[in-house]
Amino acid sequence: MLSHRAIWDGIDALARRQGISVSALARIAGLDATAFNPSKRVSKDGRERWPSTESLSKILEATGESFESFLAGGTFLHMNDNAPRSQTVPLLGLARAGIGGFFDSAGFPVGQGWEEIDLPRPGEGGVYALEVTGDSMEPLYREGDRIVVSPTEAVRRGDRVVVKTRDGEVMVKILARQTHKQIELRSVNTAYEPRIVDLADVEWIARIIWASQ
């Protein structure tokens, strides 16, 4: 069962992952800027106020977040004392990810040199973490942020992804468009131009399912 606090914690965590305030989050979703203010969460007589499902749907659509990642960003899992509170997954610095020997042909982690990180929610097998370098995804992901990647998740337009090319380049981007021959990758940082990559040059592409910031 979802609690009042957990829902609001999830909204706060979503805003932090976007690098913006809850007021800015409301604005980009087409809502009143005060919709998520702390003063709106409890009425004057002490009753708890809940955000509407329409509001939640709008902020998820505006940010490209899935409902699963929204749940993962809050405190929902801590409400069930019998639920696992963490899972250890492999961690690798993004700068090393392009070096041969760390991934198989499907994008799963292999070989030596991986560290470990506790993922604060249960996850499926095969997930792993990468540590971000560079500024192409700022303010969404900053240098040192850790992203959790799933090679088994289907990717679609608007997803945040990690792409490895056959020449060893590893990129954290947004999948803007995909045809049967090419993919278009965009950065959050507007200083970086979109990248068009032939699918023949892509070794694998994996979806980002969680970020620690």
| CATH code of 9's domain | 1.10.260.40
CA distance 111 to 66: 31
CB of 157 within 8 A of CB of 174?
Answer: no
Residue 178: which domain range? 87-212
**Together in a domain, 112 and 191:** yes
Q: What is the pLDDT along the chain (213 residues), one digit of tens a residue?
A: 466 777 888 888 888 878 788 898 999 999 998 999 888 888 777 778 888 888 988 999 888 887 766 766 554 443 444 444 455 666 666 666 666 666 766 666 666 666 666 654 544 557 788 888 888 988 888 888 888 888 887 888 888 899 999 988 999 999 999 999 999 999 988 899 999 999 999 999 998 887 765
pLDDT for the residue 184:
95
Q: What is the dihedral of CA 187, 99, 91, 66, to 10 degrees?
A: 30
**Together in a domain, 125 and 190:** yes
CA distance 180 to 202: 12
Number of structural domains in the chain: 2
pLDDT for the residue 124:
52
CA distance 182 to 158: 15
Judging by DSSP bridges, how do beta strands 87-93 and 115-119 pair with one another?
A: antiparallel
**Together in a domain, 126 and 67:** no
* CATH code assigned at 143: 2.10.109.10
**Together in a domain, 91 and 195:** yes
**Together in a domain, 158 and 202:** yes
**Together in a domain, 60 and 93:** no
**Together in a domain, 133 and 178:** yes
